[in-house]
Amino acid sequence: MTTPERKPAAPTYRPAPVHDPAAAQKTKLARGWLHTAHFLTSAPQLEHLPALDLPEIAFVGRSNAGKSTAINTLTQQTRLAFASKTPGRTQHINLFGCGRQKIDDAVLADLPGYGYAAVPREAKLRWQRVMGNYLMTRQNLRGVVLMCDPRHGLTELDDILLEVIRPRVESGLKFLVLLTKADKLTRSEGAKALSIARLQAGGGEVKLFSALKQIGVDEASELLFDWAHPPMDAAAAPAPDAPANAAAEPDHGET
């Protein structure tokens, strides 16, 4: 008996991705701008920070939420933000300038991670005051990026921070929650984490983010660029000098 010849299965149809030149250019512009980030100064106390008239974007988050890795990924650098081997031990505000042709037009502020149990109580209280004063009084603060490990969700300390900045958010301060380490979530877990965080964020934006899988990197980069450059400035901005596709190697330490 002759076995009938089996016909090859029809290939699964996958629509070709739509290429949007304008969107691609915006992503290139934003990522190239962030790639210019460089160290400006470090301050142990709020009064030691220089008074600047450039828009400032602060990165905050609980220790071990992946803050340093996210900053390094967004700027496509490996050691711009220092990831301490002991989470919670880095207790300085670090400022990084961003701008084409060595002319800064914005500042990124890396605030110390908070909530790590091994840090003495006195140090925790001191840094709670420093961060609270910074977030409430820093005149040139344009936006805040809160890092959160979605497997644990927003903690009580995150909620306290949200309450601190809520009046400024209501007055126009930009706010973004990055759910880091999103590669560790299934699709359904990611959707659930987004839904919960949006309810808690109180008007801020929420995005999944993964340094390892490059999830959300382009979207977050474009958002930060827009915060630092109002629409009139962004429309007139020329193409970036720096390459936009040099992805950062994720740090293994966290702050």
pLDDT by residue, tens only, the chain of 255 residues: 555 555 554 444 344 455 688 889 999 999 999 999 999 999 888 888 999 999 999 999 887 888 999 999 999 998 898 765 545 445 788 999 999 988 999 999 999 887 665 667 776 677 777 788 899 999 999 999 999 999 988 888 888 888 889 999 999 999 999 999 999 999 999 999 999 999 888 778 999 999 999 999 999 999 999 999 977 654 444 454 544 444 444 444 444
How high is the pLDDT of residue 3?
A: 54
pTM for this predicted structure: 0.81
CB atoms inside a 10 Å sphere around CB 238: 8
| DSSP secondary structure, 125-169, as one string | HHHHHHHHHHHHH-TTEEEEEEEE-TTT-S-HHHHHHHHHHHHHH
Residues 6+ apart with CB under 8 A from 50: 41, 95
Tell me how far apart the alpha carbons of residues 221 and 31 are, in angstroms, rounded to a whole number: 6
- The owner of tokens 């699709």 is 187
